[in-house]
Structure 1
């Protein structure tokens, strides 16, 4: 009788320990979603040519980066032709201040490693985009430099899920491009949101454009990539299309930093 009671208590303790471990793992996983700044993709723009080590272009590039402190977005220019360097750093709407400044340092280090000596290059991280170029690209909508990412898990009803996702992201686009004095610079061309799906499930999403392009081009850019949902992430429970001028992401779990 005594040994049976001890065994039952032992089993109960083990079960509680497993449950606690699962809960801790879940909490850690959700928390890490907001803290991640993973490398996503890069593109070396070979058409822009290469610079030589210790050249004036390299000095101008290093000076531009080292003298830049960014809050949420900066379009910078340094040097004189033919060694002028143009740069944009655009951080995600929830990643301003120190997080944005840190992302610039991380992105530049990665860019130098992945595209050594390239005058033109783009690198994307979860929290920011960094582009350098020997020519200006302001007011140019960039849909050529683009990539897809998606969740492998498929929704039960892919066609219905696609339609709801498109409607949801289109609504966010209208908000992101809405003009109004109440919208702060960090939130310009950026809109997060969520939408209730069947049962307790929710769809979380965000859309954003770089502040290099006009309001109308932001709408056009987002409408174009949202239209690519069937190609990029057909019926998937999470996905994103990311270009040089705009991007969207949706998931069935929260992935943005909601702390203000």
Structure 2
């Protein structure tokens, strides 16, 4: 049976996904394993199992494989506005790339614009995890910070309240016309293993970065293992409503230290 799942994984990972952006990965340096260990084989089996469930139409999967200390836990989720086909494509590539980029780590996470996948020896389901925090900000600043930050606060209050509702799947998104030439687009999403309270806690911590690292920037993304927040002055979520994305500009990256 193990060989069957290994074959499934190899076949599915031969598919290449054309992502809108390059993946962001975190390979925990404290969880190095040998490629010949049982844990490594369990990761392969787990990823094959996750992909099989997405092939069946799932858009969120929690799974585990192994016994006792060799057990590997995994979670994969697509952004809530994504089609099922694009979701499957993204997860397939995430599973492929996480093994390529983090081949010897039992704890690894990978983020795309459209999906997220992680595996670990720790049973993390249901726990708020804000480590690592990976931040991206646009290097261009807004021209009217007072007005912009007021509208930014308003729109995130609105979409946060959507995301914590059990029926939302952890997703909240909206847009606000600022001027005749500018529209603010914002999106938040929690992983669906979180309770509404835990989702709200994760989003609140992520949004705090807007006043620090992302202060007055025209675009910002905060990537946590339990939630994701983003705003831009161009459309980046579906439906795009026929609008063309403007020049996205340049972004700088920051890795937030462990808060634990």
TM-score (norm 1): 0.78
Helix, strand or coil: the match of 2:239?
coil
1:174 matches 2:161: yes
Q: Which has the higher helix share?
A: 1
Aligned residues: 218
CA deviation profile, 1:176-210 (whole Å, cap 9, x unmatched) = 1124xxx3xxx411011111212342111111000
CA deviation digits over 1:64-91, x for unaligned, max 9?
Answer: 2113232211011111112111000111
**Does residue 66 in structure 1 map to residue 53 in structure 2?**
no
What is the match of residue 98 of structure 1? 85
Match in the other structure for 1:85: 72
SS at match of 1:227: helix
Indicate whether 1:227 and 2:214 are aligned: no
So what's the TM-score if we normalise by structure 2? 0.78
Decide which of 125, 138, 142 is 1:151's aligned counterpart. Answer: 138
Instruction: Give the superposition deviation at 1:217.
Output: 0.9
Contact 1:121 1:132 in 2 (8 A): yes
1:41 maps to 2:24: yes
Alignment RMSD (CA, Å): 1.8
Q: Unaligned regions of 5+ residues in structure 1, if any?
A: 1-34
Match of 2:15 in 1: none
Q: Is the 8 A contact 1:72 1:97 kept in 2?
A: yes
The answer to whether the 8 Å contact 2:19/2:90 transfers is: no
Q: Secondary structure at the match of 1:169?
A: helix
What's the offset of the Cα at 1:50? 2.4
Deviation of 1:63 after TM superposition, in Å, equals 1.4
- Residue 242 (structure 1) aligns with: 223
Partner SS state of residue 130, structure 1:
strand
Paired residue secondary structure (2:223): strand
Between the aligned partners of 1:36 and 1:204, the Cα distance in structure 2 is: 20
Instruction: Pick one of 148, 167, 183 that aligns with 1:202.
Output: 183
Question: Which segments of 5 or more consecutive residues in structure 2 lack a partner in the other structure?
Answer: 1-17, 241-260
55-64 vs 169-178, which deviates more?
Answer: 55-64
Larger Rg: 1
Tell me how far apart the structure 1 counterparts of residues 194 and 161 of structure 2 sit (CA, whole Å).
16
1:192 to 145, 163, 173: 173
What's the counterpart of residue 10 of structure 1? none
Check whether the contact 2:27–2:108 (CA below 8 A) recurs between aligned residues: yes
